[in-house]
Amino acid sequence: MKVGYARVSTAQQDLTVQREALQALGVDEKHVHVDHGLTGANRSRPGLEKALAAVREGDELVVTKLDRLARSIRDAHDIADELEAKGVALNVGGSRHDPSDPTGKLLFNVLAMIAEFEADLIRMRTREGMQVAKAKGKLRGKKPKLSPALEKYLVALYRSGEHTTSELATQFDVARSTVYRAVKRAGEST
């Protein structure tokens, strides 16, 4: 049996191309497991875990590209080793990975290095973009839950001693941590 795995990193991306490619590689749609909005750098992914649990000895795990499976050399090798131990073949874009073939091992390692390199480039560009935005004053973080006037009122109610932080959080429809931060910014101790 062929079991497919597809992944996209953001919620805005579409899995259609990967699903169609998996079907073209002989994977039945009901045997395709997906992760939507999860990075390949994180090994803990529900769709991947389901795909790995679904394969049995003699089966084949199919991915369209190696970077859909893993974004680090270590994870790619760990997954490939896990599949090999179970007697499951790994099919990357129609090419079956054979860990006993020196050329196959080389190609797998090169693809894993490229996937990790791409992930490193993405992280580097993101950091650079955030530094540029911060330098221009455009990176300010999350918008505060409370306006300055509401925060001042919340702190005044806290100072009165008539309300607990839980009551204030409920009244202002915020988390208790927001109440604690507002009080701390006002110079009070909770």
DSSP 101-154: SHHHHHHHHHHHHHHHHHHHHHHHHHHHHHHHHHHTT----SPPSS-HHHHHHH
Say what the pLDDT of residue 5 is. Answer: 95
Say if residue 13 is in the same domain as residue 50. Answer: yes
Say if residue 20 is in the same domain as residue 111. Answer: yes
Say if residue 25 is in the same domain as residue 110. Answer: yes
Q: Which residues lie closer than 8 Å to 85 by C-beta, 6 or more apart?
A: none
Identify the CA nearest to 2 among candidates 59, 66, 58, 69. 59
Q: Is 55 a domain residue? A: yes
pLDDT tens-digit map of 134-169: 888 887 777 888 999 999 999 999 999 999 999 999
Instruction: Domain of residue 156: give its range.
Output: 148-185
C-beta of residue 60 within 8 angstroms of C-beta of residue 96: yes
Q: What is the average pLDDT across 58-74?
A: 92
Say what the pLDDT of residue 190 is. Answer: 55
Q: Is 9 marked active-site?
A: yes
Say what the pLDDT of residue 189 is. Answer: 60
Say if residue 66 is in the same domain as residue 152. Answer: no
C-beta of residue 174 within 8 angstroms of C-beta of residue 155: no
Say if residue 105 is in the same domain as residue 153. Answer: no
pLDDT tens-digit map of 99-129: 888 888 898 899 999 999 998 999 999 999 9
Say what the pLDDT of residue 134 is. Answer: 86
Q: Is 129 a domain residue? A: no
Structural domain count, the chain = 2
Confidence of residue 188 (pLDDT cuts 50, 70, 90): low
Q: What is the average pLDDT across 65-89?
A: 92
pLDDT tens-digit map of 32-64: 999 988 777 778 889 999 999 999 999 999 999
Q: Is 25 a domain residue? A: yes
Residue 32: beta bridge partners? 4
Say what the pLDDT of residue 40 is. Answer: 73
Q: What is the average pLDDT across 12-38?
A: 92
Say if residue 79 is in the same domain as residue 114. Answer: yes
Cα(63)–Cα(12) distance, rounded to whole angstroms?
A: 20
Say what the pLDDT of residue 118 is. Answer: 92
Q: Indicate which residue of 9, 147, 166, 177 is catalytic.
A: 9
Helix (H) or strand (E) holding 168: helix 165-172
